[in-house]
A and B are shown apart, each in its own frame.
Chain A
Amino acid sequence: MTRQASPGEQWLVETLERRQAGLDDLEARAADALGWLAVERQATSLLRHLSTWTASAWYEAVAPELARHQAHLEEKLRRAATELSAFDAVTLASAQRRLGARLALMGKGGAGKTVITSTLARLLGRRGHPVLAVDLDSNPGLAISLGLPPTDAGLPSEAVRQHAGASYGWALAEGLRPADVVDRWATPGPDNVRFLGLGKIGGLDKAHTRRSIGALLYVLLNFDDPGWHVIADMEAGPSTPFERYHAFADDVIVVVGPAWRSAMTARRLLPMVGDGRRTRIVANRCGDEPDHPGLSPAVRIPFDPAVAEAERRGLSPLDACPDSPTIAAIEQLAELFLDQEVPA
């Protein structure tokens, strides 16, 4: 009665097993409150992601494996809760503060996602945590705004391999751990930031992007070092939220500009964020206009012609106009990610 598992289903089971091994390893290394918080967060994140497949009829041939994986993750979560309950409130709070954010930014094109992502990454990096900044947009941008040379670089050939069931037929190479990828191939940028790109559209098809994307999303989901902030700039509009590129994120920022269509886009994006994530609206390029109805912003970032000029010249706003009120507002935004709890 049960049909044979498809290549996609077989691939999913393989992936789940590898993720499980990664989590087992994280658990084995957990020696303090921060370590157990990392286990708790990673198990929560993987459970949240697992629900994508358990809810889909496309994966019913491997339903028993999914159920086994779910039970294992729930067990990990219980273990982490037990371990964490042994720490006093002060120790826990201190560990919470050291746990890096997992953040994705979405919004309409031109709303200012990239300026905010790059500046936020650098400001968080200045506070001491290393930051992994990932450009999930197949059009270049984040590297420039970080103050790096424009780059098309995706993961190199040795970081990926072909696999029939994987996303677009490509996956992370055998034996590579997400931390290895960051260590070897994330470009060092200013302020403790490391940059990874998607690889851009090279020719008449999306071959370049497609070779990297599965591997890069895997890295995002499974890079579990608790001391790092991970922050990703998503492609404009609803296409990549639709494909759940933000699956790794505990926090989502929807950037909205003053235009009515930007607010309409935000209204369309909000239902795509998914359960179990904190979502904030950030209003960008603000003048003296009122907030969009129903989209109350956590932070309002004022428009500054100096930032537009930095953009024209292809410079990082943080280098070109460090005293801009735009930067000051993004400082406020950074504060929100320096002291917060993991979503339940």
Chain B
Amino acid sequence: MKIAVTGKGGAGKSTISGALARHLARMGHDVVAIDADPNPNLGISLGVDRHLVETMRPILNSLLDAGHTHNDPTPPADDLLANYGIDAPGGVRLVATGKIERPSGSCLCCGSHNTTRQFFGDLPAADRVVLADLEAGLGDLVWARPGPQDVVLAVTEGSAKSVEIARRACRLAEEMGVTRIIGVANRAISDADVARISGELGVETLSVPEDPAIEKADQQGVAAFDADPTSPAIVAVGELAHRLMSSSAGST
């Protein structure tokens, strides 16, 4: 199974992705977490040491360090995962696609976006879960190109702007032929809030409640999954994990 997690900046993509990956791993799945943000930070929500997250070398940067050029063939995805991934807690394998380190005159398309597309597309996912935490906004969803067999999670918090981006992500995913599109109403403060968001998104929508434990973990740069595993938001993401896997085994 491949899952692409998308949404506006600050919606909580990384928080949801990190906790979801940990839950899925705990359920016994082999999980690969891809950090597709050119400002990689998914590791924090996975429970990786924050200083390691700040310094880890993504695939693209590592290849460039090694003298790789545009003309060289890209190594197989599983080799990249073995060489440039790191082991996160709970048995999750984390890999980042590319990190922007300095301004340049060139465009990004040839770099981090392409790496995301290739890597998300090529990594075999028959016996494992590949979960990609995408860059804020819709651009990366276009680059990752999830297909009909993949899952798209559109994460939003309550602001009108965030909901609008998630709504667009849902329509874009439909246009791409994705059949399993799930909305995540993150930091939800009321049932009415969730109903409003669900109505706007027009897809099955689960909610993750506003939770001070997440805020506290975020401030410290640690994973709420480790710091406060029974907090309401982490429990809700656990329910999302079960929902994803149970319906994938069924006929939907």
Contacts and interface: CB of A to CB of B under 8 A. Distances in A.
Among A140, A144, A145, A201, the one with the most B-chain Cβ atoms within 10 Å of its Cβ is A201
A206 interface: yes
> Interface of chain B, helix or strand or loop or mixed?
loop
B161 A311 contact: yes
Q: A235, A258, A261: which has the most chain B beta carbons within 10 Å?
A: A261
Contacts of B165: 139-140
Nearest to A274: B103
A313 interface: yes
Contacts of A267: 54
A181 B165 CA distance: 27
Given A235-B137, A237-B38, A261 B218 contact: yes
A206 B103 contact: no
B44 A260 contact: yes
A260 B102 contact: no
B117 interface: no
Interface stretch (B20-28, B168-176, B237-245): B168-176
Interface centre among B44, B103, B157, B220 (most CB of A within 10 A): B103
Given A261-B218, A264-B53, A237 B37 contact: yes
**Residue with the highest number of chain A CB atoms closer than 10 Å, among B10, B50, B139, B165:** B10
A85 interface: no
A314 B8 CA distance: 15
Interface stretch (A16-24, A35-43, A51-59): A51-59
A150 B164 CA distance: 10
Interface string A217-249: 000000000000000000111110111100000
B10 A260 contact: no
Contact of B218 (A137, A236, A259, A271): A259
Contacts of A265: 39, 41
Nearest to A145: B161
A126 to B, nearest CB: 23
A258 B219 contact: yes
Contacts of B136: 109, 139, 235-237
A268 B160 contact: no
Interface string B1-28: 0000000111100100000000000000
A258 B218 contact: yes
B100 interface: yes
Interface string A187-217: 0000000000000110111100000000000
Contacts of B53: 264
Interface in A272-297: 272, 274, 289
Interface in A298-321: 308, 311-314
B104 interface: yes
Q: Which of B139, B159, B176 has the most CB of A within 10 A?
A: B159
Given A109-B8, A243-B103, A274-B103, 13 more contacts: A139-B165, A144-B161, A201-B137, A201-B172, A206-B142, A236-B9, A239-B108, A243-B108, A244-B103, A258-B218, A260-B218, A264-B54, A271-B102
16 contacts: A52-B105, A110-B8, A110-B11, A138-B137, A139-B137, A140-B161, A144-B161, A200-B168, A206-B139, A237-B9, A237-B136, A238-B38, A241-B103, A260-B218, A264-B53, A274-B103
